[in-house]
């Protein structure tokens, strides 16, 4: 008798174990009831490769993949592991790491290039949609690109024409990606001491594209086989990201769309409204989403939505496109990276508009189960599924494209099913911080700089500053590591600067309000936050805006009293739930800029202990920063706090003192 084979029920995620956040838990339950798999279920069903996770699988040629697992009990004596060509575990792990840096730096920098091209169109006045909005920022940026803002005429200094400046800025900026000679211009924005180290090590990036291409060359079979030399190239490429592509993206976006200033908004899936047309923008580049925001707010579109039975239009964001339009327009994020499928599973998402990066292909499968129009907009990021609509962004027709998309969403409102479930959770947040607004809030009354921040660090009310950034990762409980790290830091008087999905997470859990300081902070930080009316965690924007963290730290050095190099500062970096290659590039430019940087989960270096030791110990003696890894959130935060305390001791400010306003002579005495 034939035995009937029973189909095994797929393993599903336990909603409570999968997320630290209630609306996410509720939506996981809903997705499972509806039989729709999400990333949380797939993470249970598929385990990561144990060799790949350690960074020791080489698939760079067709003789492999060669896998070099660590022997049980570790390496005793000489490490004899090698691939077919003889590549050691160090070479393989360093090559894999370098390719992650290349991909991450490419993603940020190509985003920057796209913005620079739109900027050029605006400067040439080829488009009505984009104009130079923030002329102050244009004038602030121009000198860093060697563009003069004044001209000598008849013995007089006169302001140059703004259009002329914009055009020259556009030309010089675009040239940074591929110029034949010289070095990246923004490197000189770093403290002199950091710049000098890069010169000494010979790691000044020559242009953005070249450093990324060179990683791909060096990691080809049979080229660079010295992990130290490979890491040198990682430094060049990642600096070309942080102090190049990302910084240009931030600056040019600010000039085009406005420099963010603090504003109030909300966050979480609960921002979606059942009686409104819900449009979710997702990805990273704000060039089209800026237009969608503009179009969705027109009376014509609001009236059209009403005509179709809705009460209005609710815009929301996911990932860093969300952060971009949050920072400049107060549009609320509907969720972070791991919540993207859930926004559609509400049944109330009339259109999801995606551009580039961090977009899960499974969105298309989820959208098939609902009425949601899933619209790709970027020529380099399409999806194979046939329910996906492609409306390609073109800066010359951006307003028309945006209008078409918004209309499509409005017309889709009436196709909604009755099975809608929007979780009720959302939190208030104050976002929109940046180098300029920190200056305003934490600068002196008459001195537009960072003196007050420095004074509060010196007197110990603020113990130090942490940059906490980065993704979610379905291999750890959604949001938990972020929130526990953040709370431990602020509880111990560490002021946090955040970007990316960490920023969205902090907002969702209510940490981005001034009131949060009284509940969660140590007494020193709470007092500062109360006095100036800021949250203990300042949201600086998207992942390219990590460049704002570099520049804020540089301002702290410039204000004096805390050393002369970024590595002197009581500062640390963290990516508690990282997952993307961009995070590795960010981590490496933080480290190369002198910042002690801790990652959660694992980094793919553990299978090559010598290489791992090199980046987590020896690099400190070269750049002042180094990598570290700690999955436990409390230990993770304390690695950072201990580092901050060490730096305070080195600066001679380890004893908290009564606040004294110091003049330049006092500061110089401290430094001496
Ligand atoms: O660039 S934090 S999951 S959205 S990669 Fe992606 Fe990571 Fe979020 Fe922004 Ni950054």
For residue range 200-211, what is the model confidence (pLDDT) as tens digits? 999 999 999 999
**DSSP for residue 360:** -
Task: Check: CB of residue 78 under 8 Å from CB of residue 558.
Answer: no
- pLDDT score of 660 more than 50: no
Phi-psi region of 99 (alpha: psi -120 to 50; beta: other; left: phi over 0): alpha
User: Which residue CA neighbors atom 9 of ligand 1 most closely?
Assistant: 320
Give me the residue label for tokens 């000039």: 255
Residue 325's closest CA among 278, 366, 387, 280? 280
User: Which residue CA neighbors atom 1 of ligand 1 most closely?
Assistant: 543
Any long-range contacts for 12-16 (C-beta under 8 Å, 24+ apart)? 12/41, 12/44, 13/38, 13/40, 13/41, 13/43, 13/44, 15/40
- Does the CB atom of residue 470 touch ligand 1 within 6 A? yes
**395 or 230: which leads in pLDDT:** 230
**Tokens describing residue 78:** 């000489």
- Does the CB atom of residue 471 touch ligand 1 within 6 A? yes
State in Å: Cα 499 to ligand 1 middle: 9
Instruction: Tell me, yes or no, if the pTM score tops 0.85.
Output: yes
- Does the CB atom of residue 358 touch ligand 1 within 6 A? yes
Mean pLDDT, the chain, rounded, equals 95
Task: Check: CB of residue 420 under 8 Å from CB of residue 264.
Answer: no
CA distance 205 to 239: 7
CA distance 560 to 544: 27
Question: What is residue 237's predicted lDDT score, i.e. its pLDDT?
Answer: 98
**DSSP for residue 449:** S
Atom of ligand 1 nearest to the CA of 284: 9
User: Which residue CA neighbors atom 6 of ligand 1 most closely?
Assistant: 358
- Pocket mutation for ligand 1, best pick of 470, 545, 576 (most atoms within 8 Å of C-beta): 470
Any long-range contacts for 232-235 (C-beta under 8 Å, 24+ apart)? 232/201, 232/202, 232/203, 233/98, 234/97, 234/98, 234/101, 234/588, 235/198, 235/201, 235/203, 235/588, 235/592, 235/623
End-to-end CA separation in angstroms for the chain: 90
- Does the CB atom of residue 207 touch ligand 1 within 6 A? no
φ, ψ of residue 423 to 5 degrees: the values are -60, 150
Question: What is residue 666's predicted lDDT score, i.e. its pLDDT?
Answer: 55
Considering only CA atoms, give the Rg of the chain.
25
**DSSP for residue 2:** P
State in Å: Cα 159 to ligand 1 middle: 40
Question: pLDDT band for position 659 (50/70/90)?
Answer: very low
| Cis peptide bond prior to 65, omega within 30° of 0 | yes
State in Å: Cα 404 to ligand 1 middle: 27
Tell me the pLDDT tens digit for each residue of 574-602.
999 999 999 999 999 999 999 999 999 99
Question: What is residue 164's predicted lDDT score, i.e. its pLDDT?
Answer: 97
- Pocket mutation for ligand 1, best pick of 105, 325, 337 (most atoms within 8 Å of C-beta): 337
Question: pLDDT band for position 5 (50/70/90)?
Answer: low
Phi-psi region of 432 (alpha: psi -120 to 50; beta: other; left: phi over 0): left
Residue 507's closest CA among 488, 535, 526, 485? 535
Atom of ligand 1 nearest to the CA of 499: 2
- Does the CB atom of residue 501 touch ligand 1 within 6 A? yes
Averaged pLDDT for residues 445-452:
68
Atom of ligand 1 nearest to the CA of 472: 3
What are the chain's domains? 15-53 (no CATH), 89-257 (1.20.1270.30), 269-415 (3.40.50.2030), 427-651 (3.40.50.2030)
CA distance 300 to 308: 13
What is the number of alpha carbons within 13 Å of residue 350 lying toward its C-beta? 28
Binning the chain into helix, strand and coil, the percentages to the nearest 5 are 50, 10, 40
φ, ψ of residue 642 to 5 degrees: the values are -60, -40
- pLDDT score of 371 more than 50: yes
Task: Check: CB of residue 467 under 8 Å from CB of residue 590.
Answer: yes
User: Which residue CA neighbors atom 4 of ligand 1 most closely?
Assistant: 319
Question: pLDDT band for position 672 (50/70/90)?
Answer: very low
Question: What is residue 441's predicted lDDT score, i.e. its pLDDT?
Answer: 77
- pLDDT score of 431 more than 70: yes
Q: With b meaning 16 or more CB within 10 Å and e meaning fewer, what string describes 449-480?
A: bbbbbbbbbbbbbbbbbbbbbbbbbbebbbbb
Task: Check: CB of residue 612 under 8 Å from CB of residue 606.
Answer: yes
Atom of ligand 1 nearest to the CA of 469: 2
Task: Check: CB of residue 355 under 8 Å from CB of residue 284.
Answer: yes
CA distance 265 to 611: 44
- Does the CB atom of residue 147 touch ligand 1 within 6 A? no
- Pocket mutation for ligand 1, best pick of 471, 479, 542 (most atoms within 8 Å of C-beta): 471
Strand order from edge to edge, sheet including 596-599: 537-539, 494-498, 464-468, 571-575, 596-599, 627-629
Averaged pLDDT for residues 560-564:
95
Question: What is residue 110's predicted lDDT score, i.e. its pLDDT?
Answer: 97
**What three-state secondary structure class fits 593?**
coil
CA distance 115 to 136: 18
Averaged pLDDT for residues 424-436:
96
Question: What is residue 655's predicted lDDT score, i.e. its pLDDT?
Answer: 78
- pLDDT score of 661 more than 50: no
Question: What is residue 656's predicted lDDT score, i.e. its pLDDT?
Answer: 58
Tell me the pLDDT tens digit for each residue of 55-96.
999 999 999 999 999 988 888 889 999 999 999 999 999 999
- pLDDT score of 667 more than 70: no
Give me the residue label for tokens 């403290």: 191
- Does the CB atom of residue 586 touch ligand 1 within 6 A? no
- pLDDT score of 530 more than 90: yes
- Does the CB atom of residue 575 touch ligand 1 within 6 A? no
């Amino acid at each position: 008798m034939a035995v009937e084979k029973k189909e095994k029920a797929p393993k599903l995620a336990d909603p409570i174990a999968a997320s630290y956040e209630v609306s996410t838990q509720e939506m996981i339950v809903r997705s499972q009831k509806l039989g729709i798999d999400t990333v949380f279920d797939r993470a249970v069903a598929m385990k990561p490769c144990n060799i790949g996770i350690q960074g020791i699988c080489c698939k760079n040629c067709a003789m492999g993949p060669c896998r070099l697992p660590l022997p049980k009990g570790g390496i005793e004596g000489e490490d004899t592991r090698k691939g077919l060509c003889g590549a050691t575990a160090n070479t393989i792990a360093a090559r894999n790491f370098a390719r992650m840096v290349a991909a991450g730096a490419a993603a940020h920098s190509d985003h920057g290039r796209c913005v620079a091209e739109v900027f050029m169109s605006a400067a040439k006045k080829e488009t009505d949609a984009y104009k130079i909005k923030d002329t102050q920022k244009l004038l602030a940026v121009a000198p860093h690109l060697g563009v003069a803002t004044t001209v000598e005429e008849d013995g007089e200094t006169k302001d140059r024409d703004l259009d002329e400046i914009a055009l020259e800025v556009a030309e010089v900026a675009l040239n940074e990606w591929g110029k034949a000679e010289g070095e990246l211009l923004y490197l000189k924005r770093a403290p002199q001491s950091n710049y000098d180290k890069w010169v000494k090590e010979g790691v000044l990036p020559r242009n953005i594209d070249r450093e990324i291409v060179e990683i791909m060359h060096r990691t080809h079979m049979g080229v660079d086989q010295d992990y130290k030399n490979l890491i040198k190239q990682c430094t060049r490429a990642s600096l070309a990201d942080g102090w190049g592509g990302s910084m240009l993206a931030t600056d040019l976006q600010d000039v085009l769309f406005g420099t963010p200033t603090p504003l109030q908004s909300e966050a979480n899936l609960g921002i979606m409204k059942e009686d409104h047309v819900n449009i979710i923008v997702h990805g990273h580049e704000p060039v089209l989403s800026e237009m969608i925001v503009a179009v969705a707010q027109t009376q014509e579109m609001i009236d059209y939505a009403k005509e179709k039975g809705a009460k209005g239009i609710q815009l929301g964001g996911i990932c860093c496109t969300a952060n971009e339009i949050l920072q400049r327009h107060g549009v609320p994020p509907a969720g972070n990276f791991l919540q993207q499928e859930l926004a559609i599973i509400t049944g109330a998402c009339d259109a999801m508009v995606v551009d580039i990066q961090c977009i899960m292909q499974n969105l298309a499968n989820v959208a098939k189960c609902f009425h949601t129009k899933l619209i790709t907009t970027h020529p380099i990021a399409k999806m194979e599924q046939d329910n996906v609509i492609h409306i390609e962004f073109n800066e010359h027709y951006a307003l028309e494209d945006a209008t078409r998309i918004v209309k499509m969403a409005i017309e889709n409102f009436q196709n909604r099913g009755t099975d809608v479930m929007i979780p009720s959770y959302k939190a208030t947040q104050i976002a929109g911080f940046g180098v300029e607004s920190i200056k305003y809030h934490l600068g002196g009354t008459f001195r537009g700089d960072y003196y007050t921040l420095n004074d509060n660090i010196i007197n110990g009310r603020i113990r130090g500053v942490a940059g906490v950034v980065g993704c979610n990762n379905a291999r750890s409980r959604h949001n938990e590591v972020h929130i526990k790290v953040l709370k431990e830091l602020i509880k111990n008087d560490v002021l946090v600067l955040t970007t990316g999905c960490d920023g969205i997470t902090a907002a969702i859990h209510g940490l981005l309000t001034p009131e949060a300081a009284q509940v969660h902070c140590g007494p020193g930080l709470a007092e500062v936050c109360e006095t100036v009316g800021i949250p203990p965690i300042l949201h600086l924007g998207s992942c390219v805006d990590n460049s704002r963290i570099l520049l804020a730290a540089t301002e702290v050095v410039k204000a004096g009293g805390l050393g002369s190099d970024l590595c002197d500062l009581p500062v640390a970096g963290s990516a508690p739930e990282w997952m993307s290659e961009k995070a590795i590039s960010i981590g490496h430019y933080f480290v190369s800029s002198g910042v002690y940087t801790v990652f959660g989960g694992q980094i793919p270096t553990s299978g090559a202990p010598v290489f791992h030791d090199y980046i987590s110990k020896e690099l400190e003696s070269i750049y002042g920063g180094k990598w570290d890894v700690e999955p436990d959130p409390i230990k993770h935060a304390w690695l950072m706090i201990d580092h901050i305390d060490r730096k305070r001791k080195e600066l001679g400010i380890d004893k908290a003192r009564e606040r004294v306003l110091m003049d330049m002579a006092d500061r110089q005495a401290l430094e001496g």
